[in-house]
Chain A
């Protein structure tokens, strides 16, 4: 019981190394882009992940002006890939009372971050802008780079770069020794050498046969000597071993009867007598049946 409890606690305490990378697009908002001034770079505002699209802007500020004064406030972002603005909103405060905050939400159709140039708040006319806040909302697609996760569509397995090694391969066909050995031989020389080799082989064979014959004679003589010696040794051994049997003596003596019957007569077995009588009667009946008595 205690062991199971300890194992359970240990299993709970063990860190889990299994995890899953989410490839679901997620959303977020930036901080106040206008916190450092009325112009800002998007690189300082947007987070770093690739695949980020901006889908909305919220801004607010309070204009300070005389009611009679003309004042326009322009807010927007330049187009990084061209002339003009990705979005630009103009608030015309001319003839209006100052001190009233404006709050606006601008919808934007998922424009990639690469297109976003610098943002700004510009005042045209007499007046100032206070307490400006510009917040961008965005969507991030983790699979913008398919290599982000094996679960992303278009993911390709990357093989590690291996160092290329130059190896000098041995070409046997280019070896000088092989070339010489495989070169065609002069036929005349080849025939003379063949005859010479045949003569040498016949002489060697004669010598070998003679040597084998002499060796067989020697081996036979040696075998005969060894066989005679073995016979002599066997005869000696048999004589030694048999003498011990000849010298052995059996222990003699008289074995007396030890079992004595005490009863003088054996009683009749009445049970056996009855059984024998029954068998006799049955036997006689069977005999009589043969004669149809």
Chain B
């Protein structure tokens, strides 16, 4: 028993002539869905307790563009704000409303039904990008301070989130 143990130990000391090499593989995937901010939004302040992107109230609606080079491969998900990114300290609740719609397309034949086929859940709107080309989505956002109280003075910022989701 001892003899075997010694033999095994001796064999383990011999150098191993065979060896292994790891060959790397790299690849780059170009995104076929590019999201670009076309127009930044601006909140108007028609009264003390409302901030809105409605142009009639002094606001500017944000516009985002989706450029797709692969048809039937992506969903466009756009979510209007549900909170301020920056604001003065707020002691009351803020009520948020928002919506998104197709404002322009680059292919009438294949994109004209995007608006008809959109799906909305909560503040999020989802579009099935079935054609290649560019689509412009316009969002609107309104924030109302609780109990019709006046918003404290200061700077308010919020964000519309646009996501391209692979199908």
Contact = CB atoms under 8 A, between A and B. Distances in A.
A104 B109 contact: no
Interface stretch (B98-106, B144-152, B156-164): B98-106
A97 B113 contact: yes
Interface size class of B (residues with CB under 8 A): 10 to 19
Contacts of B104: 60, 100-103
B106 A93 contact: no
Interface of B: 102-109, 112-113, 115-116, 134, 136
Given A63-B108, A73-B108, A91-B108, A101 B113 contact: no
Interface of A: 60, 63, 73, 91-93, 95-97, 100-105
Nearest to A93: B108
B106 A104 contact: yes
A222 to B, nearest CB: 128
B118 to A, nearest CB: 11
Nearest to A73: B108
Contacts of A92: 108-109
A22 B135 CA distance: 40
30 contacts: A60-B104, A63-B108, A91-B108, A93-B112, A95-B113, A96-B108, A96-B112, A96-B116, A97-B112, A97-B113, A97-B115, A97-B116, A100-B102, A100-B103, A100-B104, A100-B105, A100-B112, A100-B115, A101-B104, A101-B105, A102-B104, A102-B106, A102-B107, A103-B104, A103-B105, A103-B106, A103-B134, A103-B136, A104-B107, A105-B106
Given A91-B107, A97-B113, A102-B105, 19 more contacts: A60-B104, A63-B108, A73-B108, A91-B109, A92-B108, A93-B112, A96-B108, A96-B116, A97-B116, A100-B103, A100-B104, A101-B105, A102-B106, A102-B108, A103-B104, A103-B106, A104-B106, A104-B107, A105-B106
Residue of A91, A92, A103 most packed against chain B (CB within 10 A): A103
